[in-house]
Amino acid sequence: MNRYALAALAMAVMGTAPAYAMTGYSPADDTRAAIELRIGVDLLAHGRDNDAIPHLDAALDQSPDDVGILSDLAAAHRRVARASTGTARDAEMRLSAAYYHRVLEQDLNDRDFLAYMGELYLSRDDVRSARDELKALDAACPEGCAQHDQLAASIANYAPPPAP
């Protein structure tokens, strides 16, 4: 077969190939991402934030604008920052903020933002500012809301870091 016939055959095959074959997408990618997400969420639920992050990252690769995954990553990095010190803590806080900013780009929810900022202040040992965010949540949801309850519990359970 000459090269022109071979090129024509290749173009014919490529023209009839499913779109996902040309893009590198496979339906199995969705399945893997769903499994990674379930593993990551389960690890988060059991307080294993560091272990959850790679699984959540893998799920995010498949769905880069998924607000739930972005929120989980923001929370995981914020909690890892609490257990870290120095530049590691700063890096984790920056990652948390970056993921949360992506959440806000997708879904600007004032209650979520206030709760996140309160948690961020607690991570920085600024209880007074966290209480200010809780007061703002009082105004944002006078009938009560999950974000208020969560931040109130975090403030109630806050323990300052041990003195060096």
Show me where the domains of the chain are located.
24-108, 109-156
Residue 21's pLDDT band, with cuts at 50, 70 and 90, is: very low
Question: Nearest Cα to 151, choosing from 125, 122, 109?
Answer: 122
Say how far apart CA 157 and CA 127 lie, in whole Å: 11
How many of the other CB atoms lie within 10 Å of CB of 113?
19
- Identify the residue whose tokens are 């009560």: 144
In this predicted structure, what is the pLDDT of residue 106? Answer: 81
Residue with tokens 């499994």: 35
The per-residue pLDDT of the chain, averaged, comes to 83
Answer whether 115's CB lies under 8 Å from 147's CB: yes
Query: Which pLDDT band holds residue 25 (cuts at 50, 70, 90)?
Result: low
Question: Which amino acid is it at 9?
Answer: L
CATH of 24-108, one of 2.170.120.20, 1.10.10.10, 1.25.40.10, 1.10.1370.30: 1.25.40.10
pTM of the model: 0.67
